Structure 1
Amino acid sequence: MLLTGNSSFCAVRLNAFPLTRTLFTTPRCQSWFSKLIYPPASTTGASSYAEVNINGPNKCFLPIRNYEELNETLLYSHTTPLILNFTFRGHQKADELTGALNKIVLYETERRINICDVEMDFINNREGVMRFGVTEIPTLVSVRKTLPVDYFCLSAQNGYVNWLQLKAWIEKNADKP
């Protein structure tokens, strides 16, 4: 670095520090949609999940907080059935249903299906509730090609999560391997 000039003015010679263009060549995410939380990229030994489900990984999308995110998720999962979990965070019954749903879809079923939580804590999700005809929370909505196919409500199941009934409902709405 070369400093020139008097005490009131200093000029820095820029060619002493060559700038590299590699800092600016990394691709930027244009959409929140590129952030799938599970499963991670498939590399050998990166996840035991790849060994559990050899038919291809089911995906768990990031929680939806507005109507635009809901539309993007529906378009991305157009070829694979999708379960939308309309839920409140911190509600005991909703959290039990969400946990059971995630474990069944990601670890126990051999069929192809994706899941996504629609967080009803956000007011921007009202349009999604009206679009899919959800009347109570928590509710699971099975979607094929952006259209609702089937519903699963806890009140119809005596208010508690029955693991076997939930697994049978998921496999009924999923694609065969």
Structure 2
Amino acid sequence: MMIPIWMNIAALALIILILYCAWASHSRLVALDERCTTASADVDVLLRHRHDLIPDLVKVVKNFAAHEHRVLTEVIEARSSALASQGSAKMQAETQLGQTIASVLALSEQYPELASSVHYQKLQDELTDTENRITAARRFFNLAVDEYNTTIRQFPGNGIASLSDLKRRDKYDLGNSRENIASASLVDL
């Protein structure tokens, strides 16, 4: 018995439709993965900028509040820890660094001369702006990760992701492929 031509055409159309859906799902997953990578790099650039501001902040504060050695040492150690960390430890180290910077900035309340220093005010403004930009970049990164993770958990993305070896991403993880910044300038007390 001969199969009618319309059945052959329908079977071929179904195969083409399935292949197109698989291709479209894979393309979407790749695009979402790239969006996460780009968002991660954006956060990383801002964190590096914050790290670059710390030596100047320490020098300015040291000139006005030399006996605040403990606080200055804490910020230097927090910066070193953040530079050396990777993965989830990186998130914790960056959070600790942000808190330590806030304690250094709070010193201006005890030292009016420090608060009135033009250089200190510029650094404080730039650090505040950088922190705001870091917060916004982290939010965007986490939203991108949410969308990506949701897509790889839903059909047909889950099947395509397992075939393509695409894995779930963690929120606000700067990744393991960070450039080694250990050679960043050190600050002497």
Q: State the TM-score bracket (shorter-chain normalisation).
A: under 0.3
The structure with more strand, counted as a fraction of residues = 1
TM-score by length of 2: 0.20
The structure with more helix, counted as a fraction of residues = 2
RCO (CA 8 Å, sep 6+): is it higher in 1 or 2? 2
